[in-house]
């Protein structure tokens, strides 16, 4: 009975906390994006040297995109001639970094954990974007053109209150689209919190198991779990004794390799490049996991 009560309390508290945070942060981000001209963003991504990679990773980190938005933007960047490395930095950072993810990490794991996570993934997106470009992976892009597509320019209101309302409606739409994933994640996390024996977690994924991090990354990669689902599950496992590094590896591996996104990437990239992106996500998950175990 105590386990059931603890499970219900955990579920209700985390759901309420994440709902408020999601709507608040999403509204602010949507409002900021209304003031950012898209043409300037594209020009910044075309900057020489590391600037383009930096901007590509930054754009991926401030926009709460799902695969259905990331892929068309990737195509668009390639079509207008944005350097390949900058596009790759965007592709890598987009599913792993956005204000919602960072806000959830701050709420559930603390500011230090969120900052370390951001630095690891952000730097990884820049570095691997440069490596993929320098190794000539641009030739692995298929000769794809956007067919039958046209941009829809939504009229942006001038008044601040109208922009705020539009931003909240966008945030509400995003929230309803991920609500089921959030509830599934919190629900599974609540069951783990209430019922999973700590001894089991400590034995296979605790700090004493040196292979816990790569194993968690491998387990995460074939799973289709959004970050909104993965973070509550990971935090519950951490509370049961799973090393923080293994939790981070699970989150990066699972959230970075969404099956729908990889399927869509395979339509514009050759298999070798898709495989390289998988390897990049895996390396980021493993390196990030070990760094977390050392620092935290």
Express each pLDDT in 40-96 by its tens digit.
Answer: 777 778 777 788 899 999 988 877 555 555 666 777 778 777 889 999 999 889 888
Does residue 150 lie within any of the structural domains? no
- In the chain, pLDDT over 70 holds for what percent of residues? 78
Question: How many CB atoms sit inside 10 A of residue 131's CB?
Answer: 14
Does residue 68 lie within any of the structural domains? yes
pTM metric for this prediction: 0.70
Does residue 274 lie within any of the structural domains? yes
Does residue 61 contact residue 93 with C-beta atoms inside 8 Å?
yes
Does residue 117 contact residue 288 with C-beta atoms inside 8 Å?
yes
What confidence tier does 149 reach under pLDDT thresholds 50, 70, 90?
Answer: very low
- The pLDDT score that the predictor gives to residue 131 is 93
Domain that holds residue 48: 2-140+161-295
- The pLDDT score that the predictor gives to residue 78 is 80
Look over the chain and give the mean of its residue pLDDT values, rounded to a whole number. 79
**Domain tally for the chain?**
1
Does residue 190 lie within any of the structural domains? yes
Q: Token pair of 123, please? A: 């730097």
Q: Which of residues 36 and 13 earns the better pLDDT score?
A: 13
| pLDDT (average), residues 194-209 | 70
Question: How many CB atoms sit inside 10 A of residue 261's CB?
Answer: 22
Express each pLDDT in 210-263 by its tens digit.
Answer: 888 888 887 766 555 566 667 777 778 888 788 888 888 888 887 776 665 677
Does residue 215 lie within any of the structural domains? yes
pLDDT at 19 over 80: yes
Does residue 147 lie within any of the structural domains? no
| pLDDT (average), residues 197-216 | 75
Does residue 149 lie within any of the structural domains? no
pLDDT at 146 over 60: no
């Amino acid at each position: 009975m105590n386990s059931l009560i603890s499970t219900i309390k955990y579920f209700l508290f985390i759901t309420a906390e994440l709902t408020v945070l999601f709507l608040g942060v999403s509204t602010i981000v949507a409002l900021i994006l209304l003031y950012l001209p898209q043409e300037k963003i594209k020009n910044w991504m075309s900057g020489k040297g590391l600037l383009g990679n930096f901007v590509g990773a930054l754009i991926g980190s401030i926009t709460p995109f799902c695969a259905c938005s990331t892929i068309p933007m990737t195509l668009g960047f390639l079509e207008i001639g944005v350097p390949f490395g900058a596009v790759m930095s965007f592709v890598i950072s987009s599913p792993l970094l956005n204000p919602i993810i960072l806000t959830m990490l701050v709420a559930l794991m603390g500011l230090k954990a969120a900052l370390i996570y951001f630095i690891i993934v952000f730097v990884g997106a820049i570095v691997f974007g440069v490596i993929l470009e320098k190794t000539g992976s641009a030739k692995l892009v298929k000769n794809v053109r956007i067919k039958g597509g046209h941009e829809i320019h939504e009229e942006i209101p001038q008044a601040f209150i109208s922009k705020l309302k539009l931003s909240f409606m966008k945030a509400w739409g995003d929230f309803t689209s991920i609500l089921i994933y959030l509830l599934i994640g919190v629900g599974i996390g609540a069951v783990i919190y209430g019922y999973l024996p700590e001894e089991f977690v400590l034995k296979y994924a605790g700090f004493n198991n040196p292979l816990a991090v790569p194993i968690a990354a491998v387990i995460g990669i074939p799973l289709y779990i959004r970050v909104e689902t993965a973070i509550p599950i990971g935090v519950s496992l951490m509370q049961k004794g799973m090393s923080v590094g293994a939790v981070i590896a699970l989150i990066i591996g699972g959230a970075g390799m969404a099956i729908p996104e990889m399927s869509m990437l395979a339509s514009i990239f050759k298999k070798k490049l898709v495989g390289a992106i998988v390897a990049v996500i895996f390396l980021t998950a493993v390196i990030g996991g070990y760094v977390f175990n050392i620092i935290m």
